[in-house]
């Protein structure tokens, strides 16, 4: 039987608004340990060193039979197909996809990391984790993996049950912590050397718990204080040991809270708030990303650093995602259905008839960038762009779904 131990949330005082050490509550005795037993001596998660890797970009994709419409997918993921990995334009890996191989054609269940494809798969009763098609481990229970990190050969996962609420944080498949009521709402990310994630708990009288937002890190839980009365939280994150909350205040508008200090987000003159996407960050800085509408009705994508506008993109270009990287900044989006790439102040308009559908379609790092485009119609081959050079992917019928990098 899968070990499940109710996560009892310890609340901080009502007046607490910072992320000081005393606001954290140790909850290790309430978690399932890797052995499946609860106890006060839960091992701390080891700090996460940088991973080595081969330099260059890796592109992961799926290839289908020539006449199959993978967009409509009439056979609901059961058609025979192949998953592949491209390194610097050359295929270096191919794998069969299907039930017999415990590998799904659902691209949300595979990710490209350090020059490899790591995948998860749910059988009737288990979850299977693979690397390049080879099984690494499996464990009881059907989980949907929503967070995945590599560290020193260890695999950290954040999973949700495929039926019902809850989450389970595992290291190499072994339970480190779990909740029967929480729902993950942020990625699994590294802060201060430790895996960190945010989740939400809905009010549940059966468990006698109050709803709210929480951050989990290294066996401890932090309750997110409400930044304002009737605030609608858009995103929250620990960054350099400070707590950032992006929210909408019904009375004053779009705002940010930094360690309990609330600030209204600056708007360009004559514009009005349109939407907030969330936080984006690199090792040094954190930004809020959103959109406003100017006096002429144009949508302008903005980056805020703390509460001040630090970059306003050209009017009419609807940016999908931003990628800060030290002194470099990249972004991707569309203008009138034409894909656009921004890098350090320059806009590059890419071939029409193609789309960038997700923030996972691009990577900007170490002063370089790679992105890929899918054709609007079938048949058509995807394109990938490395540092402004456009190349066609050698594929009969299929698409790309992830970009990975190796350390130089």
- Does 178 map to a domain? yes
Distance CA 61, CA 81 (A): 11
The pLDDT tens digits of the residues spanning 11-47 come to 233 233 344 444 555 443 232 222 222 333 444 555 5
Q: Is residue 355 part of a domain?
A: no
Show the tokens assigned to 387. 């540092």
Residue 117 to residue 96: CA distance in whole angstroms: 13
DSSP 68-97: --TTT-TTTT-S-EEEEEEETTEEEEEEEE
Closest to 141 in 3D by CA, of 167, 117, 171, 115 = 167
The Cα–Cα gap between 172 and 249 comes to 41
- Peptide bond preceding 379: is omega within 30 degrees of 0, i.e. cis? yes
Domain that holds residue 15: 1-53+114-225
Within 220-376, strands assigned E span: 220-223, 232-239, 242-249, 253-258, 261-264, 272-281, 286-293, 299-305, 308-312, 318-325, 328-335, 338-343, 346-349, 354-355, 362-365, 368-375
pLDDT in tens, the chain (408 residues): 333 322 323 223 323 334 444 455 544 323 222 222 233 344 455 554 444 445 689 999 999 998 898 888 898 888 889 999 999 889 999 999 999 999 999 999 999 999 999 999 999 999 999 999 999 999 999 999 999 999 888 999 999 999 988 999 999 999 999 999 899 999 999 999 999 999 999 876 555 557 899 999 989 999 999 999 989 999 999 999 999 999 999 889 999 999 999 999 999 999 999 999 999 999 999 999 999 999 999 999 999 999 999 999 999 999 999 999 999 999 999 999 999 999 999 999 999 999 999 999 999 999 999 999 999 876 789 999 999 999 999 888 999 999 998 753
Domain membership flag for residue 386: no
Q: What is the pLDDT of residue 22?
A: 45
* Residue 52 Cα distances to 121, 131, 195, angstroms: 26, 16, 19
Domain count, the chain: 1
pLDDT (0 to 100) of residue 396: 85
Cα–Cα dist 71/323, whole Å:
28
Nearest Cα to Cα of residue 187 among 176, 198, 177: 198
Establish if 239 belongs to a structural domain. Answer: no
- Residue range 358-367, pLDDT digits in tens: 999 999 999 9
Domain membership flag for residue 26: yes
Asked whether residue 100 is assigned to any structural domain, the reply reads: no
What is the 8-class DSSP label of residue 379? S
Q: Tell me, yes or no, whether 24 lies in a domain.
A: yes
Residue 118 falls inside a structural domain = yes
In the sheet where 126-131 sits, what is the strand order?
110-113, 116-122, 126-131, 134-140
CA 213, CA 231: separation in Å to the nearest integer? Answer: 12
């Amino acid at each position: 039987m899968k070990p499940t131990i109710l996560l009892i949330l310890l609340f901080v005082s009502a007046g607490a608004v910072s992320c000081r050490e005393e606001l954290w509550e140790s909850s290790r005795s309430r978690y399932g340990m890797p052995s499946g037993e609860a106890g006060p001596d839960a091992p701390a998660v080891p700090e996460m060193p940088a991973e080595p890797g081969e330099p260059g970009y890796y592109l992961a994709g799926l290839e289908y039979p020539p006449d199959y419409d993978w967009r409509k997918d009439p056979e609901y993921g059961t058609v025979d197909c192949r998953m592949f990995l491209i390194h610097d334009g050359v295929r270096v890996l191919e794998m069969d996809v299907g039930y017999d191989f415990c590998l799904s054609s659902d691209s949300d269940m595979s990710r490209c990391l350090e020059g490899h494809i790591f995948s998860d798969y749910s059988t009737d009763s288990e979850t299977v984790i693979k690397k390049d098609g080879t099984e690494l481990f499996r464990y009881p229970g059907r989980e949907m993996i929503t967070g995945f990190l590599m560290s020193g050969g260890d695999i950290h996962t954040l999973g949700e049950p495929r039926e019902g609420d809850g989450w389970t944080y595992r290291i190499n498949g072994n339970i480190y912590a779990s909740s029967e009521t929480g729902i993950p709402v942020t990625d699994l990310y590294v802060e201060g050397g430790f895996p960190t994630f945010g989740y939400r708990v809905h009010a549940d009288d059966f468990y006698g718990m109050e709803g709210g937002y929480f951050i989990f890190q290294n066996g401890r839980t932090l309750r997110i204080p409400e930044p304002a009365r009737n605030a609608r939280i858009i995103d929250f994150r620990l960054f350099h040991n400070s707590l950032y909350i992006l929210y909408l205040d019904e009375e004053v508008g779009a705002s940010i809270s930094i360690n309990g200090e609330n600030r209204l987000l600056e708007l360009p003159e004559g514009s009005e708030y349109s939407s907030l996407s969330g936080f984006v960050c690199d090792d040094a800085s954190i930004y809020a990303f959103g959109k406003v509408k100017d006096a002429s009705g144009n949508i302008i994508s903005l980056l805020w650093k703390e509460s001040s506008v630090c970059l306003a993109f050209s009017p009419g270009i609807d940016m999908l995602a931003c990628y800060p990287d030290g002194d470099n900044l990249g972004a991707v989006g569309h203008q009138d259905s034409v894909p656009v790439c921004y890098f350090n102040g320059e806009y590059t308009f890419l071939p029409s008839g193609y789309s960038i559908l997700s923030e996972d379609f691009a990577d900007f790092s170490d002063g370089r960038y790679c992105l890929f485009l899918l054709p609007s119609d079938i048949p058509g081959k995807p394109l990938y762009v490395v540092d402004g050079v456009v190349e066609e992917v050698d594929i009969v019928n299929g698409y790309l779904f992830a970009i990975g990098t190796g350390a130089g």
